Amino acid sequence: MIDHISIETIISFAGYAGIFLLMITNGAVSFPSSQVLYIIAGYFVAQGDLALLPVVVAGTLGNTVGTIILYELTRKYGRTFIARMKIFPLRELEKVELAFHKKGAWFIFIGKLLPAIKVFVPVSAGLGKMSRPLFATLMVIASAIWSLVFIAMGYFFGKSSDLFGHYAVVLVLVALIVVFLFYRYLNSEEIIREVEN
């Protein structure tokens, strides 16, 4: 299992290429933690070992490639493929897919910025056969925003993944509120009624 120490080792050894490869796996299977990776990378930027722009580019491109891989697999093989993966609860997936059909691109963009939802984004876009250029564009923009937030945390506060408990209270509260509203919508009568029909 890739933990905090091994992420740091990979980034120290492989630099931008390591960030790119780790973020491909994050985009495809949501592992390792992008938050921890970017906080560590931000610390290296602060120390002068890495430069900000290449870190953002490597992370953004890697994450986009990973999400496109999952999107394409889902687009080609559909729910059967997702069921075999046994990663996504199928009932939740149905609700997310329905929300995508109702909200479209906004759901994909906002969902990519939410920790509890972002894992479903390429799956719902693939099942909905969303336009490839639009999906890729939204992934690049959202991934860049995500990277900058956590790189900044690592840059200003250090590489500890405990930052969430010390410096990011407001960020976490905002994220929790948005995720709560998102889940409330996914479990609203409007969505549940259509899933059960």
- Most confidently predicted of 43-57, 123-137, 183-197: 43-57
**Per the structure block, which two tokens stand in for 142?**
């959202």
Distance between the two ends of the chain, CA-based, in angstroms?
Answer: 41
List, for residues 5-27, the tens digit of each pLDDT value.
688 899 999 999 999 999 999 99
Considering the chain, what percentage of its residues have pLDDT values greater than 70? 70
Lowest mean pLDDT among 42-46, 57-61, 156-160: 156-160
Q: Give the pLDDT band (50/70/90) at residue 42.
A: very high
For 195, the token pair is: 């899933």
Give the number of domains in the chain: 1
* Domain span holding position 76: 4-196
Q: Among all chains, which residue has been given the structure tokens 């998102």?
A: 182
